[in-house]
Every structure is written in structure tokens, then in C-alpha cells.
Amino acid sequence: MRSLVSLALILSWSPLLALAASQNADADSNLSISIAEPLQKKLAASYGSEEALVLQQAINESVARAVRRAGLAAAALPRTEVLLSDARPSHPTHHQQGANPSLDPVRSISLGGATLTAVLRGADGKELERVSADRYATSLQEVSASLDTWSDARLTIDRLADQLVKAYRRHAH
């Protein structure tokens, strides 16, 4: 019985593990995304570990979208390492709603945002440039109108992606 439970857990997580592997193995293999250990612990304890995948995917998609919009060739871009240091949701996560049924996914709002840093590296591995984005809503009036759980964090992620495109252009050959 115990092995069946273990197998069931492994199988239930396999789609998430496949998604996690695909997040850092996008068509643009020059982009790596990591989450700082303190944030990983905060995600596991407060927001739900699965939210790490949501945030990684948001970063991946935002950078890819900004690169496409700018007309840059992803394969020609320098190696980029993105570190998500902190993130706070604008609306409760599924984990938070499960832990506290009084939370409403629409009406419950928080001062969300994120802190990210990206390092561009040359072919020799040396740092070419470092860009960062750090934005949090400071009042309930500033919280994004979107109903997305990570709406304010996504605004910060988009800001970082725009800064990355500018940095890529500065280092184009």
C-alpha cells in the first residue's frame, strides 16, 4: 500500500516536473531562471511550492515575448541568468485559499510585486551587464487591476524583460 501511495505521488507530480524541466529548457537555451532559496522556502511554507513553476514560466514567457517584439534573434543573445529574489502575490494562491477558506480569490488583495536580477554573460563567461527590477504596490490603490494571482509580480517581470532587451541591444555584435 505504501509503495502505491508513493507511486501515486510521483505520478501526480510528473507533469509538474516535466513543466519545470521545460521552463529552463525553452527554445532560448541562453536563458536560465532560478529562485533564491529564501523565496523557495517562503513559497513552500506560505504560497505553495507549485507557484515557483508559475513564476518561472511568467519570466520565461515575458523575456521571450519582449525579445520577439524587439525582433532579436534569441539564439544570438548572450547567456542570461535571471534570479527571482522575492515575490508576493496580489491575490491569494490556491495554497493560501486552502489554508484559509475566508480568502476570496477576487476580493482578497495584497500588496504584490517582485525583485529580480539578471546577469548577461559573454562567451567567456564574464559578466557583461547586470539589470534588475524591483517593484511592489505600496497601497491598495496601486495593486494591479488584473485578477491574476501574481499580477503585480508580472508587471515587475515585464519591466525586467524590457530592460533585458535594451541590454541585449547594447551588447549586440
Whole-angstrom distance, CA of residue 126 vs CA of residue 3? 47
CB proximity list for 167: less than 8 A, separation 6 or greater: 118, 120, 128, 129, 131
Calculate the alpha carbon distances from 108 to 50, 111, 118, 134 in Å: 20, 11, 31, 23
Contact 121, 128 (CB under 8 A): yes
Beta strand extents in the chain (DSSP E only): 31-35, 79-88, 113-121, 127-136
Task: Name the nearest CA neighbour of 27 among 77, 95, 83, 93.
Answer: 77
Segments of the chain with pLDDT less than 50 = 1-27
- pLDDT per position as a tens digit, 37-66: 999 999 999 999 999 999 999 999 999 999
Provide the pLDDT for residue 9. 34
Contact 135, 156 (CB under 8 A): yes
Distance of CA 33 to the CA centre of its chain: 8
C-alpha cell at 134: 524591483
